[in-house]
Structure 1
Amino acid sequence: METMFRQEMVTMNARQLEIFRAIMRDGSVTAAANSLAISQPAVSKVLHHLENQLGYRLFERIGGRLVPTMEAHLIYEDADRVFRELEVLKNLTRTIGERKIGLLRIGASLPVTYSVLPHALTSFRRDHPTVKIHLHALPKKEIAEQLVIGDIDLAVTLSTIQAPTVRSEILAGVPAMVLMRHDDPLADRERITPADLVGRPLISYGNHADIGPAIEQAFRQHGVERELSIQISSSVGAIPLVSGGLGVALVDGLVKWSSFEGLVARPFSPTVVMDVAISTNAARPKSRFFQPLLNAIRELL
């Protein structure tokens, strides 16, 4: 029977629900009309229409008083809960309209997550303290997929995302760096060349990475071949490898490598640049929080 009344309650519109609830709560049509600031005939008309719609009476007049029927009592608990949920929804939509709260879904590569985003989000949250942030730290390929299907609002990556509906903007160029332990012989050098890395176990990106061909070309210009000891997809993955003595790493200079105990980074020469890019899906509405976050990232870069 409860299921039946739940189904019948769905036939109520929001106004009928509000008036039915007010009559149950206040005990009379007159009191309900006063609390809702409408006329008594208007309340009676809505109630009469609702009872005709349902096919049974919700109230009986006994001894001059309006008495709820068994059906009304069965419906009221759910009706009251639904109405309170509608009020919460109204408040939420009003708050969103006033731009007090919202949601921003960000996809970011790990180097960006470890470097730029914490500071940019700190700046962003000063002006938008109630905005919820969903941060997806993923490989670039997965970030691109989520951007295309709409699971994220924007992407911040090292290199642009190539997809038919994706629009990317390059924010800054980041030079490649050589990451090593502080006690490595190369730590005394101001710059590291491809010749300095010959014979050393090298940790870096494969040729499939956007930066891979440029690094290969830099080695060839110096007459040496790049031989990878360990291939990584993200520069952050090099941290435990270098710390563990497995080699030196040729990675991006976006991450503040000096913040990791025991590690130092030196510029790679010739300069090889990786691009920090922000991307959105032109086939979907742009988040109204996109521009404030973009401004915060630009200030940092």
Structure 2
Amino acid sequence: MNARQLEIFRAIMRSGTLTSAAQLLNVSQPAISKVLRHLEDQLGYKLFERVGGRLHPTAEAQLLFINADRVFREIETVRDLAIRIRERRIGLLRIGASAPPSFAVLPATLAAFRKRHPGVKVILRTLPAEELAEKILVGDIDLGLTMSSIRVPMVQAELLMTTRVVALMQEDSPLARKAVITPADLADQVLISYGSHADVGVPLDAAFDRVGMPRTIGIEISLAISALPLVQAGLGVALVDGLLPWTRFPGVTVRPFEPRVLMSLSLVTSGTRPASRFVRDISDDIRAAIAALPADATAPSVATSRSDRSRARRT
């Protein structure tokens, strides 16, 4: 028994006559009769009794039809799915991102993307840079956004923007009255910040060394968002990236840190697999969202002009 035989059998059961089944499948009535006879010969039992010029399904045919109908309904579902995928009405997009771009960039990005692709399911995972690169390599995610360097073969990282390091403090801190925060201002503060092994750790250490101060970390963090509850609880002053929209959180104040130390945001994709149409599409949305960020969230870089060019292409 093959799929064509089942299709013809199902058409006969649903239409009631060989002629109607032939019209339904756009084939000749003799061709339908031939396939039905061959099917009955293969099965070794009758599927229809011919009484008064009409076909009456046998009990065996009724049993067979239940499963044949289910199979073809599933095939029709798959066919409909394939058409909707072709028309870009549904799909899947898997994103890995650190906390700063998840807060600052992805809301506007996904709003624009889903307006055009409401049927696309988006899976968003918060991942450290090492795990993000690994999942890009094995194909578990389609693209990533990270504030850390990616130095993994076969993984591509495109610089999108830079942002400066800022000081985060309680809103009633005496330091909140200052326009900028320097290493000297932090001499008597418990410092909450990234360790020296982090990408930004070396330039931060250098900023303190230039004024003859060690960067003594009281509470070391690996994720910027981890500093928020610590600062809110009065445990210290944090030096963290300026991309996170810190002013949205209650009880804290943010000030620029001098000398200026920059952190980079990169778009990470596979270097071995071609990007899907959804990856290419949302990449433009990411660049547009970055171009629309407040000026104090970004620092001048080559990525700014690249984003402007991308936005111009879309308009």
1:12 maps onto 2:2 in alignment? yes
- Residue 250 (structure 1) shift: 0.7
Relative to structure 1, is the Cα distance of residues 182 and 18 closer, same or farther in structure 2, using a 3 angstrom cutoff?
same
Match in the other structure for 1:285 = 274
Q: In the TM superposition, what whole-angstrom CA distance separates every residue of 1:22-63 from its partner, at most 9, and x where no partner exists?
A: 111112221211222321123223334444554544334344
Match of 1:103 among 70, 88, 92: 92
C-alpha separation in 2, matches of 1:249 and 1:122: 31
Q: In the TM superposition, what whole-angstrom CA distance separates every residue of 1:203-252 from its partner, at most 9, and x where no partner exists?
A: 11112322222211222122111111111111111111110111111110
The answer (yes or no) to whether the contact 1:175–1:271 under 8 Å persists in 2 is: yes
Match in the other structure for 1:153 = 142
Match of 2:197 among 193, 205, 208: 208
1:274 maps onto 2:274 in alignment? no
C-alpha separation in 2, matches of 1:200 and 1:221: 19
Percentage identity across paired residues of the two chains: 53
Relative to structure 1, is the Cα distance of residues 53 and 193 closer, same or farther in structure 2, using a 3 angstrom cutoff?
farther
Match of 1:86 among 75, 78, 93: 75
Relative to structure 1, is the Cα distance of residues 17 and 299 closer, same or farther in structure 2, using a 3 angstrom cutoff?
same
Match in the other structure for 2:221 = 232
Match in the other structure for 2:175 = 186
Match of 2:59 among 55, 66, 70: 70
Letter of the structure 1 residue corresponding to residue 87 of structure 2: E
Q: How many residues align?
A: 290
1:171 maps onto 2:160 in alignment? yes
C-alpha separation in 2, matches of 1:43 and 1:220: 88
Structure 1 gaps of 5+ residues are: 1-10
C-alpha separation in 1, matches of 2:260 and 2:88: 44
Match of 1:29 among 18, 41, 44: 18
Structure 2 gaps of 5+ residues are: 291-315
Q: In the TM superposition, what whole-angstrom CA distance separates every residue of 1:266-293 from its partner, at most 9, and x where no partner exists?
A: 1111111111101111222312111221
- Residue 97 (structure 1) shift: 0.6
Letter of the structure 2 residue corresponding to residue 288 of structure 1: R
Q: Which runs of 4+ in 1 moved over 6 A?
A: none
TM-score (norm 2): 0.86
C-alpha separation in 2, matches of 1:46 and 1:294: 53
C-alpha separation in 1, matches of 2:137 and 2:46: 53
Range with greater deviation from structure 2 (90-99 or 159-168): 159-168
The alignment's C-alpha RMSD in Å is: 1.8
C-alpha separation in 2, matches of 1:110 and 1:73: 58
1:137 maps onto 2:126 in alignment? yes
Letter of the structure 1 residue corresponding to residue 280 of structure 2: Q
Letter of the structure 2 residue corresponding to residue 95 of structure 1: R
C-alpha separation in 2, matches of 1:289 and 1:247: 43
Range with greater deviation from structure 2 (144-153 or 282-291): 282-291
The answer (yes or no) to whether the contact 1:104–1:287 under 8 Å persists in 2 is: no
Match in the other structure for 2:211 = 222
Match in the other structure for 2:293 = none
Q: Secondary structure at the match of 1:278?
A: strand
Letter of the structure 2 residue corresponding to residue 126 of structure 1: K
C-alpha separation in 2, matches of 1:98 and 1:70: 42
Letter of the structure 1 residue corresponding to residue 256 of structure 2: P
Match of 2:101 among 102, 112, 121: 112
Letter of the structure 2 residue corresponding to residue 12 of structure 1: N
Letter of the structure 2 residue corresponding to residue 175 of structure 1: R
Relative to structure 1, is the Cα distance of residues 27 and 238 closer, same or farther in structure 2, using a 3 angstrom cutoff?
same
